[in-house]
Amino acid sequence: MNLEYFIAKRLIRGKEHKISISAPIIKIAITAIAISVFMMLMAIATGVGLKHKIREKVVAFNGHIQIYNYDNNTSDVSVVPVSIEQEFYPEFNSVEGVSHVQAVATKGGIIRTENTFEGFIAKGVGDDYNWNIFKEYLVAGQLPDYSGEVNTQVLVSRFMANRLQLKVGDSFSAFFPKEEDPLKPNQRKFTLVGIYDSGFEEIDSMYVFVDIRHIQRMNKWDADQVGNFEVFLESFDQLDEKIKEIYGKTVSTLDAQTITNKYYKIFEWIDLFDFNIALIIGIMVIVGGINMITALLVLILERTQMIGILKALGSANWSIRKVFLYNATYLIAIGLFWGNVLGLGLIWVQQKYQVLKFPNPKEYYMDYIPVHIDISTVLILNIGVLILCMLMLMVPSYIITKINPVKAIKFE
């Protein structure tokens, strides 16, 4: 073992008598490993970051799970009310992992200004609404306050405010149809106190946040009746598990659906990110592995005489193979180090300063490229790359067993 280590050390430091012709190949191999690790880190960070950010935006407007009357399951607006006198409201204590439950109601209407008009859905919320996860989308004004008396404050998206030519402080009229008399709609005058921008045009072009008591009065509901409940979980990864528990804790007249069912096209799209990440990792491992195989073969060819001498001195094939594998491990470690320095450095810069932007923000629902990565992922990636590269190098190192000592000593 000491002899193997001594030879490996000399190979690593390049203290052979002959001028090394493998040096450029080794540098290329190290660079390939570094670039591969860099690309893998960026693929994971951007893919997972974008996936998490899109999920957060959709959940912020809808919750992880919605509970509603069966008669409302095909409608975007609240038709049949649900009583708030439920065991799971306001605290869902019977199911672990639920962080918050809020009551909402929706109603379709038309906003009319002096110059134009726009269809919309009024989302009625009350004092139980969790604005904390919504604050990052506020771009102007302030969030409405519905904790006191019923008021006319509303929150409108930047998309709709631009189309209606409205700004913070402006007032406008909204009309809501009556089922019993569509020709005489309910009219409400609202004051715009805040403007939000989620990046989701299909959400931004639809929802205006209003006091839920306006919808209750127009629908002639009691004060304890709402359209549906939005349930927030502590972890998105528990969604499939918790939907079964939550559905089992509701009465037979209520149904529950996950956000992935409501926006299945969006979640099908972001699920493809996992495949893309796996594909990039696979390609980069192959590229790095092939370069290391090339470097190892050149190294073996350059040290053919040395291999012959070691065999003549009685060294076993496996012992000689380990000398080259030690050297390859060192080279891979150098590549991993620089790949991590560059990759994690750029991820930190992007997370802090958001320097990388999307050329077309509408396609990805945000203007900058979000990144997310954790220490465990970095460790698993590095260990996995090291193990896979070493396994790939086992095959070319087998050539050493085929080298004849007598011919190798004469080798030039």
Lowest mean pLDDT among 10-14, 142-146, 345-349, 364-368: 10-14
> If pLDDT is split at 50, 70 and 90, which confidence band does 42 have?
very high
Lowest mean pLDDT among 158-162, 212-216, 357-361: 357-361
Asked whether the beta carbons of 269 and 91 are under 8 A apart, the reply is no
- For residue range 282-332, list pLDDT tens digits in order: 888 888 888 888 877 777 777 777 777 777 777 777 777 787 788 888 888
Predicted TM-score (pTM) of the model is 0.80
Highest mean pLDDT out of 5-14, 338-347, 349-358: 338-347
Q: To 5 degrees, how large is the angle CA 178–CA 181–CA 186?
A: 40
| 151: its two tokens | 């008021």
Q: Helix and strand tally (H, E) in the chain?
A: 13, 12
pLDDT value for 72: 65
> If pLDDT is split at 50, 70 and 90, which confidence band does 16 have?
very low
- For residue range 137-154, list pLDDT tens digits in order: 899 999 999 988 889 999
Asked whether residue 4 carries a pLDDT value surpassing 60, the answer given is no
Count of beta carbons in the 10 Å neighbourhood of residue 412: 4
Euclidean distance between CA atoms 390 and 174, whole angstroms: 68
Q: Is 42 helix (H, G, I), strand (E, B) or coil?
A: helix
Q: Which helix (H) or strand (E) holds 153?
A: strand 153-157
Average pLDDT estimate for 383-389:
89
Going by their DSSP bridges, the two strands 138-141 and 117-125 should be labelled as unpaired
Asked whether the beta carbons of 320 and 311 are under 8 A apart, the reply is yes
Considering the chain, what percentage of its residues have pLDDT values greater than 70?
A: 90
pLDDT value for 330: 85
Higher pLDDT, 408 or 389: 389
- For residue range 256-274, list pLDDT tens digits in order: 999 998 888 888 888 888 8
DSSP state, residue 114 = S
Higher pLDDT, 76 or 261: 261
CB-based burial of residue 355 (10 Å sphere; 0-12 exposed, 13-18 middle, 19+ buried)?
exposed
Domain chopping of the chain, boundaries: 2-57+271-409, 58-266
pLDDT value for 212: 94
